[in-house]
Structure 1
Amino acid sequence: MIRLLLLDIYVFIIALLLGSFFNVVAIRLLKKESIAFPPSHCPHCKHKLSVFDLIPVFSYLFLKGKCRYCNVRISPLYPFGELLTAASIFVVYKFVGFEFELIPALILTVLLVISVLTDIHEQLILDIVTLPMLGVLLISRIFIGSEPFWFYLAGGVVGFVLLLVIAIASRGGMGGGDIKLYAAIGVALGPWLTVMSLVLASFAGAVVGGILLLTGVVKRKQPIAFGPFIFIGTIAAYLFGSDIWHWYTSFW
């Protein structure tokens, strides 16, 4: 029991550290900068950050959300990205366990997290992240999965075609990044859960979007990042797809 608890703590800490790195990946790729050089620094005063400035979440809280060197406010998206990464990786790890399926599950989770971060920052989902991860997912599905490879390949086609049709019908309301992202999601989930993922994402987007409109946070026709809702729909479909389907069909 203690060993399991220590393992859980270890996984969560590693996921937090990964979240800090994914923040850097998202921001620097959006700026078309190297993710390795220069070392982590304040985007305002350019001062190199020390180890104590880079402890996930805790540094932000300890510094009260401000840079130690220039006192400029740090974006709350930094601890958000760290916590999102830690929570999603931890939940996927607990649900899947140490099975081979954990490999495509974590690849998908990392892709979704980085996509959420870039989409929130600039409303962009980057091909430089999605396409390599799509390739890795395809390779993993050759060897790992409860269904034959063609099933997951079909999922990728379904995800791509569905989003392409929506993009055409909405006349640009859905970007090319979303289309390619759903191709990767389809490879990870297969066709049926991919459709469920899109339905859940659309439902979550409609609910949250409606609330934001009613409260005046956003204005009508103001674009909203869809990445966070894709994340919600995909994780829910992957982890709870069968339960959701059984619950839904119980009303028939």
Structure 2
Amino acid sequence: MIFVIIYVFALGLTLGSFYNVVGLRVPANQSIITPPSHCPSCGRRLTILDLVPVFSYLFLRGRCRTCHSKISPIYPTSEAVNGFLFVFSFLHATSIAEMLCGWLLVSLLMIVLVSDLDYMLIPDKLLLFFLPLFAVFRIVYPTDPWWDAPAGLVAGFALLALIALISRGGMGGGDVKLFAIMGLLVGIKTIILGFFLSAFFGAIIGMIGMLFGMIKRRQPIPFVPFIALGMLTSYFFGDQLIAFYLDLIF
């Protein structure tokens, strides 16, 4: 079992490194294949010593081997988080379908997280890639009942579109489409709970940030980190949270 976990973790790290490339290049309208990975400061093509997920960053102390410019800690952090989430999805799942569903959700969130942190943008190209992928997945592994997936898509879109309309631009179009696509994958209950948890985490962390002067009032901040936190909490622990809440009020 331990070797399987190590393999899954290594898979998550490797894919996490690739997700960094996708999240950085797609919003900039660059190919994810060419040019090969290189230092953005000096342009040197990276070798295998520079590309081992997480470990290269630690070995090089967060700097380029040639020009010694700093490497953003976002990238090794996202690689490590992706690895741990792949393992958690594997251990949490009770079927292959549930494991794959968890991996798909994590993959989408990690890619758009990198994009949002770097560009404050969720590219349509990314969402249009995952939409048919999620649709095919739900055809092969339908929800029970079958209408839960399309209902999740409609609920995710309608709820966020309503918030965007009321807030007059306070919610971006990328967020609306992201929730719609995730709703297709996870169903109506998980997407609704995920939205409220995302808003909750955003409000709490935002207030803490303003309290300590890290965030200014009306300062635009990336919302995907809160979406990721809320959606993953909803997906993995939603049933327990709902049961706990119902026990409190009844």
Question: So what's the TM-score if we normalise by structure 2?
Answer: 0.96
Aligned match for 1:113, one of 97, 110, 115: 110
Equivalent-residue separation in structure 2 for 1:84 and 1:97 (angstroms): 22
Query: Structure 1 residue 33 and structure 2 residue 35: aligned?
Result: no
Aligned match for 1:66, one of 63, 67, 70: 63
Aligned match for 1:208, one of 202, 205, 209: 205
CA apart distance, 1:218: 1.3
Equivalent-residue separation in structure 2 for 1:197 and 1:101 (angstroms): 17
Corresponding letter in the other structure for 2:212: T
- Where 1:250 maps in the other structure, the secondary structure is helix
- Where 2:248 maps in the other structure, the secondary structure is coil
User: How many residue pairs were aligned?
Assistant: 249
Corresponding letter in the other structure for 2:248: F
Equivalent-residue separation in structure 1 for 2:134 and 2:41 (angstroms): 37
Aligned match for 1:50, one of 37, 47, 50: 47
Equivalent-residue separation in structure 2 for 1:39 and 1:50 (angstroms): 10
Aligned match for 1:88, one of 85, 89, 109: 85
Query: Structure 1 residue 155 and structure 2 residue 152: aligned?
Result: yes
Structure 2 unaligned spans of 5+: none
Query: Structure 1 residue 100 and structure 2 residue 97: aligned?
Result: yes
Counterpart for residue 183 of structure 1: 180
Contact 2:143 2:149 in 1 (8 A): no
CA offsets per residue over residues 37-95 of structure 1, 9 Å max, x none?
Answer: 11110001000011001111111111111100001111111111211211222211111
Equivalent-residue separation in structure 2 for 1:146 and 1:174 (angstroms): 29
Counterpart for residue 242 of structure 2: 245
Runs of 4 or more, structure 1, over 3 Å off, are: none
State the percentage of identical aligned residues: 41
CA offsets per residue over residues 214-240 of structure 1, 9 Å max, x none?
Answer: 111110000111101111111111111
Corresponding letter in the other structure for 2:170: G
Counterpart for residue 126 of structure 2: 129
Corresponding letter in the other structure for 2:196: V
Query: Structure 1 residue 174 and structure 2 residue 171: aligned?
Result: yes
Equivalent-residue separation in structure 2 for 1:209 and 1:133 (angstroms): 29
Contact 1:12 1:86 in 2 (8 A): yes
Range 78-87 or range 222-231, more displaced? 78-87
Corresponding letter in the other structure for 1:201: S
Counterpart for residue 23 of structure 1: 20
Corresponding letter in the other structure for 2:204: V
Counterpart for residue 76 of structure 1: 73
Structure 1 unaligned spans of 5+: none
Range 239-248 or range 95-104, more displaced? 95-104
Equivalent-residue separation in structure 2 for 1:161 and 1:151 (angstroms): 15
Equivalent-residue separation in structure 2 for 1:149 and 1:126 (angstroms): 29
Range 130-139 or range 174-183, more displaced? 130-139
Q: Taking structure 1 as reference, are residues 14 and 147 closer, same or farther at Cα in structure 2, changes over 3 Å only?
A: same
Question: So what's the TM-score if we normalise by structure 1?
Answer: 0.95
Range 45-54 or range 85-94, more displaced? 85-94
